[in-house]
Amino acid sequence: MSSVGADREQGRADHALADLPAAVRTRIVEWAADVVGDAATRDLPLPLQKVARFAPAKRARRAGAALADAVQHDDMFRAMVAEHATRLAIDELAVDTPAAAARAVLLRSADADDLLARAGAAQDRADARARVGELEHELRLLTGRLARAEQQLSARVAEPAADPEAERLKKRLREQGTRLRELQDRLAAERAASAARQEALTADLDRARADAQAWRQRAEVAAGRADAASESVRRLRESSDDRRGADDRRLELLLGVLESAASGLRREWDLIGGGPSPADTVTSQGPVSSADHRTADPARLTLWAGLPGTHLIVDGYNVSKTGFAELALADQRERLVRQLAAFAARTSAEVTVVFDGAAVTTTRPFARGVRVLFSPPGVQADDVIADLVRVEPSGRPVVVVSSDRRVADHAVTTGARAAPSAVLLAAMGG
């Protein structure tokens, strides 16, 4: 059951024991008497401590009112009786038994009203049967008396001297016959009334069952919707946490780069205060040329790679075929990765080299400090390089090395810096 359904059930008003069917009330009192014998005296209400030493049957008989009052008004004692009821073996299918209804009342079950209605109907039927039995017994007694009176009358009629006695017996016989007919009429009326009450109770019970089934179906639908909503919220939270983790990592990386860059620049440039304010130096000069983001100087490329947090992205085959095209492709990859590892160790740059991977069937070369990527089938290394530049946070130093003009132009337009392959080869000393 969902939490909303549980709160609603807890909010149900307790049934007054005085209003319960007698059999249900008796069963609750009997269970309460059993609990008194098993519980510690200090845990019992004061009126029940006085009868705790009695036997359970005597306790239920002598202190029935006190037991019922404790169940009705003492939450702790009621919980003890309810726990006792849950341990009893009660056939849940025997819905007309007082025990099932009594346990439902103690546990405040949703079907308590339904079970009470069935138990009440069963008790009404039992009372009607008992009343009919009493009337039938009385009828049998009167029938016997009438038969004996008729025998006595026949015997008296046979004696001529007994006319007064015969008249008396005849009168008694008529009275007994009248009473017998009245009793028969009462019996017929009781049977008809009992049948009508039973029919009405059966109709009420059917309606209660239909209502209970409808509420159960509604509760199941509501529980299903609540579970689906909970699962959706959980997935959204997980997705949000993943995205936030990636964004936080990028932001953390950018902040680290900015902190390292600021610290390094202060040390390298030995900044001092003074001079004019920046606003005093504004002129009508145009924007900075994109040439500032390109270099053909190996020393300047090395300086860029040495900036704190720099990411150096290398077009693998473009560089290797420029420097040592005479080697096989596998040997070109191995040699370029080794040289990049040495360059990365010297400049502290993060280095990623990208090769076209369509024809590669061997394992990728490995070197400390160098990330080696192969483009997926059908995808060029140029596109992978473009993706690498795109995912970097704005403001981080990114340098792309390729003699492919399209790759270099794309890098510059997205804020990165670019250098030809020959410049990197010269900077690496190869």
Q: How far apart are the first and last CA of the chain?
A: 73
Same domain, 420 and 303: yes
Domain annotation covers residue 319: yes
**Segment 356-401, tens digit of pLDDT:** 886 565 666 778 889 999 998 889 999 999 999 999 988 889 999 9
**Residue 209 sits in the same domain as residue 316:** no
Tell me, yes or no, whether 232 lies in a domain: no
Average pLDDT over residues 249-267: 80
Please give the model's pTM, rounded to 2 decimal places: 0.38
Q: How many beta carbons lie within 10 A of that of residue 261, not counting itself? A: 17
C-alpha dihedral sign at 374, 376, 378, 381: negative
Residues 117 and 197 grouped into a single domain? yes
Domain of residue 306, residue span: 295-428
Rounded to an integer, what distance in angstroms lies between the CA atom of residue 116 and that of residue 95? 9
pLDDT at 360: 63
Give the separation between CA 350 and CA 367, rounded to whole angstroms: 13
Same domain, 305 and 213: no
**Residue 247 domain flag:** no
- Same domain? For 216 and 355 the reply is no
What pLDDT was estimated at residue 6? 40
- Given a contact cutoff of 8 angstroms between Cβ atoms, the answer to whether 428 and 339 are in contact is yes
pLDDT score recorded for residue 363: 65
CATH (domain of 415): 3.40.50
Q: Is residue 234 a part of any domain in this protein?
A: no
Does 72 have pLDDT greater than 80?
yes
User: Would residue 249 count as lying in a domain?
Assistant: no
Half-sphere exposure for 58 (CA within 13 Å, toward CB): 7
Quickly tell me which residue has 């983001």 as its tokens: 293
Residue with tokens 């001079």: 275
**Positive or negative, the Cα torsion across 236, 238, 242, 244?**
positive
Tally of domains within the chain:
2
Residues 220 and 301 in one domain: no
Domain boundary among 192, 226, 260: 226
Both 210 and 111 in one domain: the answer is yes
What is the percentage of the chain residues whose pLDDT exceeds 70?
84
Q: Per mean pLDDT, which of 35-49, 151-165, 260-274, 394-408 is the most reliable?
A: 394-408
Q: Are residues 43 and 181 in the same domain?
A: yes
Both 162 and 30 in one domain: the answer is yes
* 261 assigned to some structural domain: no
| Model confidence pLDDT, tens digit, residues 310-324 | 999 999 999 999 999
Name the domain boundary from 226, 259, 277.
226
Predicted confidence band of residue 407 (pLDDT cuts 50, 70, 90): very high
- Are residues 425 and 319 in contact, defined by beta-carbon separation less than 8 angstroms? yes
Which one of 169, 199, 226 terminates a domain? 226
Q: Which of 131, 142, 220 is nearest to 183 (CA)?
A: 142
* Residue 410 belongs to some domain of the structure: yes
Shared domain for 200 and 319, answered yes or no, is no
DSSP string for residues in 367-404? -TTEEEEEPPTT--HHHHHHHHHHHSPTTS-EEEE-S-
- Compute the average pLDDT of residues 149-170: 67
340 assigned to some structural domain: yes
- Co-location of 319 and 207 in the same domain: no
**What is the pLDDT of the chain when averaged over all its residues?**
80
Q: Are residues 13 and 158 in the same domain?
A: yes
